[in-house]
């Protein structure tokens, strides 16, 4: 009599696991389709903004202008804690720079800026706002300028992040689909989404302002690859038990 060895599934029964995987695939595909569909409108608006940017660089004064003054400046620190798959915790501290401007009507607005612009934006000095559809997309002071992603570009980035999340759900359902606890779910989700930060930011910035072909682009790509590699390593390290 010939014996046959039966290997018990590692996580749940096969029918239940198969159903769970197809539910994940369906949810991921649904999120991906909804996010990409919703991104069409912001994408077109950001493309329109890009045309005005090109016009302003070629001919000048294609954006509206508005007088303002620098009403305030401040810096603050944020601390982020990361825990890898082995339970090792690391802490990163980031310095943020904010500038507040006041328009002639008294309305104020605060935005985060670069350290270089922050050093040039002196409190009480005049500033010129660059406007697109009454939205402030840039601030100019003596010796410096700071440009911002338009609201349509920010909205586009949010939908692209959601699409990336849906892609992760889809791939997890197709390739793996097991359940090994809430902590690992949150950990893998964080690592996956962190991998998408630089690609989404580069895509939205390039769509709005075009790619910087100088050393800045090389530096951005290098930094993005470095941190995406760390997040990818954390993600794949969590799969060692499979």
Q: What is the CA radius of gyration of the chain?
A: 24
Mean pLDDT of all residues in 51-63: 91
Q: What is the pLDDT of residues 186-217, one digit of tens each?
A: 999 999 999 999 889 989 999 999 877 667 66
**pLDDT surpassing 50 at residue 7:** no
Domains and CATH numbers, the chain: 14-40+152-237 (no CATH), 59-148 (2.40.50.660)
C-alpha pair distances (Å), 131 with each of 35, 70, 135, 136, 142: 28, 17, 5, 5, 18
Q: How much is the pLDDT for 137?
A: 96
Per-residue pLDDT tens over the stretch 72-121 = 999 999 987 766 656 677 788 889 999 999 998 899 999 999 999 999 99
Q: Which residues make Cβ contacts (< 8 Å) with residue 41, sequence separation at least 6?
A: none
DSSP helix/strand/coil, 4:
coil
Give mean pLDDT, residues 36-60. Answer: 95
Q: At what angle do helices 197-209 and 215-237 cross, to 10 degrees?
A: 150
pLDDT at 5: 38
Element (H, E) at 108: strand 108-113
pLDDT in tens, 118-139: 999 999 999 999 999 999 999 9
CB atoms within 10 A of CB 157: 22
How would residue 10 be classed by pLDDT, with cut points 50, 70 and 90? low
What integer best gives the mean pLDDT of the chain?
Answer: 87
CA nearest to 148, candidates 204, 78, 212:
204
Give the pLDDT confidence of 163-183 residue by residue, as tens digits: 999 999 999 989 887 788 888
């Amino acid at each position: 009599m010939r014996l046959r060895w039966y290997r018990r599934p590692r996580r749940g029964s096969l029918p239940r696991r198969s159903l769970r995987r197809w539910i994940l695939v369906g949810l991921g595909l649904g999120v991906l389709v909804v996010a990409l569909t919703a991104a069409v409108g912001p994408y077109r608006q950001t493309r329109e903004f890009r045309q005005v940017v090109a016009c302003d660089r070629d001919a000048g004064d294609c954006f509206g202008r508005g007088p303002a003054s620098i009403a305030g400046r401040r810096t603050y620190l944020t601390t982020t804690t990361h825990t890898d798959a082995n339970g090792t915790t690391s802490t990163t501290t980031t310095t943020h720079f904010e500038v507040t401007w006041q328009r002639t009507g008294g309305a104020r607005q605060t935005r985060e800026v670069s350290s270089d612009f922050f050093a040039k934006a002196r409190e009480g000095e005049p500033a010129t706002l660059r406007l697109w559809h009454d939205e402030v997309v840039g601030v100019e002071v003596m010796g410096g300028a700071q440009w911002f992603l338009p609201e349509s570009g920010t909205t586009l980035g949010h939908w692209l992040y959601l699409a990336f999340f849906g892609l992760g759900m889809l791939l997890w359902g197709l390739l793996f689909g097991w359940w090994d606890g809430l902590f690992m779910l949150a950990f893998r989700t964080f690592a996956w989404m962190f991998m998408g930060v630089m690609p989404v930011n580069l895509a939205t910035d390039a769509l709005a302002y075009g790619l910087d072909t100088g050393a800045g682009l090389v530096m951005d790509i290098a930094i993005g690859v470095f941190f995406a590699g760390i997040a990818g390593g954390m993600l794949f390290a969590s799969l060692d038990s499979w």
